[in-house]
């Protein structure tokens, strides 16, 4: 645990050092965020620097030589896949900036690339965990699902990555929820390790700690009123990290509970689209994802972040207590 805390602090310091330079560079490059026309209540945010995800990605790049040592295939796979997702997000952000509109890669293009990366992770993890061992939350029993661990991994990675991306619509929302998710999943990893040893536990926990330290620093610049946005560069990186380290720790099902606010973001968006098409234009929510519905209801961004964070903390505490 001492090592985890040290890495958390080191990451925070590294992010704190690079953050001003990154923000200054983004402003110089005029890497400003474009706002979707139907999110008119965010019009004042137009031009805010995006791709700020580099603030918490760079500490991970710095940490790689120290984390990837010896026989650490799970760690290498987790970092490689998350960087690949970050690269996809970076390309999407670059295209939005060049076109000066909130339209980068086409939806099908992003899904295809995400799917290819997720397939690679799924095949790799099935090779590493052929019995498909995974833990059932709250029941605290381990089950073996064999081959089905591969499609489950694919679904979890793609769904979580996009759910975190959808949650990134209010200042500090995705970053705060992700920070607490990573904190709780790390605690759960150590508790579960007392029941069934987790392969590469220390290095997977370090990945979570490094990401958390960078996120905490990022929040200094991302809380309302945000000075920088993480962009798809940051959100795709975060979503993939959250999904992959959870799965590699036998904790894939915890995403549904500890990541309940990400689930709500994804479900609200899916429900809205399906209902809209089925009814010829009627809506369930004033706007989707759900945090935009709350904004339309008059909730401030700070209050929305508070609600999402409190729910994440309560569910996280419940998950931890169930293991004691």
For residue 289, cis peptide bond before it (omega within 30 degrees of 0) = yes
Angle at 239 between CA 6 and CA 176, to 5 degrees: 60
Angle at 62 between CA 28 and CA 305, to 5 degrees: 65
**Consecutive H or E run containing 87:** helix 73-99
**Within a domain: residue 271?**
no
Q: What is the pLDDT of residue 2?
A: 85
Q: What is the number of domains present in the chain?
A: 1
The per-residue pLDDT for range 126-146, each reduced to its tens digit, is 999 999 999 999 998 999 999
**Within a domain: residue 45?**
yes
Per-residue pLDDT of the chain (324 residues; tens, 9 = 90+): 788 999 999 999 999 999 999 999 988 887 766 655 455 555 566 778 888 999 999 999 999 998 887 788 999 999 999 999 999 999 999 988 887 766 778 888 999 999 999 999 999 999 999 999 999 999 989 999 999 999 999 999 999 999 999 999 899 999 999 999 999 999 999 999 888 888 889 999 999 999 999 999 999 998 878 889 999 999 999 999 999 999 999 999 999 999 999 999 999 999 999 999 999 889 999 999 999 999 999 999 999 999 999 999 999 999 999 998
Q: What is the pLDDT of residue 6?
A: 95
The DSSP line for 136-183 is: ETTTTEEEE-GGGHHHHHHHHHHHHHHHHHHHTTSTTHHHHHHHHHHH
**Within a domain: residue 260?**
no
**Within a domain: residue 306?**
no
**Within a domain: residue 148?**
yes
Q: What is the pLDDT of residue 34?
A: 60
Q: What is the pLDDT of residue 35?
A: 56
3-state helix, strand, coil in the chain (%, to 5): 70, 5, 25
What separation in angstroms does the CA of 161 have from each of 15, 85, 175, 291, 319? Answer: 22, 9, 13, 17, 22
For residue 319, cis peptide bond before it (omega within 30 degrees of 0) = no
**Consecutive H or E run containing 135:** strand 133-136
**Within a domain: residue 142?**
yes
Query: Domain containing 182: what range?
Result: 2-253
**Within a domain: residue 311?**
no
- Please, which residues have CB within 8 angstroms of residue 277's CB and are 6 or more apart in sequence? none
Q: What is the pLDDT of residue 42?
A: 59
Q: What is the pLDDT of residue 128?
A: 95
**Within a domain: residue 7?**
yes
The per-residue pLDDT for range 225-259, each reduced to its tens digit, is 888 999 999 999 999 999 999 999 999 999 999 99
Helix (H, G, I), strand (E, B) or coil at 251: coil
Q: What is the pLDDT of residue 69?
A: 77
């Amino acid at each position: 645990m001492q090592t985890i805390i040290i890495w958390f602090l080191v990451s925070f310091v590294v992010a704190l050092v690079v953050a001003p330079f990154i923000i200054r560079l983004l402003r110089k490059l005029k890497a400003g965020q474009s706002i979707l026309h139907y999110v008119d209540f965010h019009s004042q945010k137009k031009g805010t620097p995006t791709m700020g995800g580099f603030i918490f990605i760079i500490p991970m790049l710095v940490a790689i030589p120290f984390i990837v040592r010896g026989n650490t295939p799970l760690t290498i796979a987790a970092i490689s896949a998350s960087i690949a997702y970050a690269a996809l997000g970076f390309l999407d952000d670059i295209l939005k900036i060049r076109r000066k509109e909130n339209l980068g890669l086409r939806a099908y293009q992003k899904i295809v690339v995400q799917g290819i990366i997720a397939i690679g992770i799924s095949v790799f993890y099935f090779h590493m965990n052929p019995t498909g061992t995974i833990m059932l939350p709250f029941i605290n029993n381990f089950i073996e699902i064999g081959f089905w661990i591969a499609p489950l991994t694919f679904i979890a990675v793609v769904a979580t990555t996009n759910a975190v991306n959808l949650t990134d619509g209010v200042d500090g929302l995705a970053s705060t929820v992700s920070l607490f998710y990573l904190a709780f999943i790390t605690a759960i990893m150590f508790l579960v390790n007392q029941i069934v040893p987790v392969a590469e536990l220390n290095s997977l926990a370090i990945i979570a700690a490094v990401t958390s330290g960078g996120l905490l620093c990022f929040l200094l610049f991302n809380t309302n009123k945000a000075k920088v946005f993480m962009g798809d560069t940051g959100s795709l990186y975060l979503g993939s990290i959250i999904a992959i380290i959870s799965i590699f720790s036998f904790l894939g099902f915890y995403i549904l509970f500890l990541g309940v606010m990400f689930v709500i973001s994804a479900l609200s968006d899916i429900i809205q689209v399906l209902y809209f098409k089925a009814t010829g234009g009627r809506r369930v929510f004033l706007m989707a994802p759900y945090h935009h519905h709350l904004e339309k209801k008059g909730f401030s961004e700070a209050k929305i972040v508070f609600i999402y964070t409190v729910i994440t903390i309560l569910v996280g505490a419940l998950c931890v207590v169930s293991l004691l």
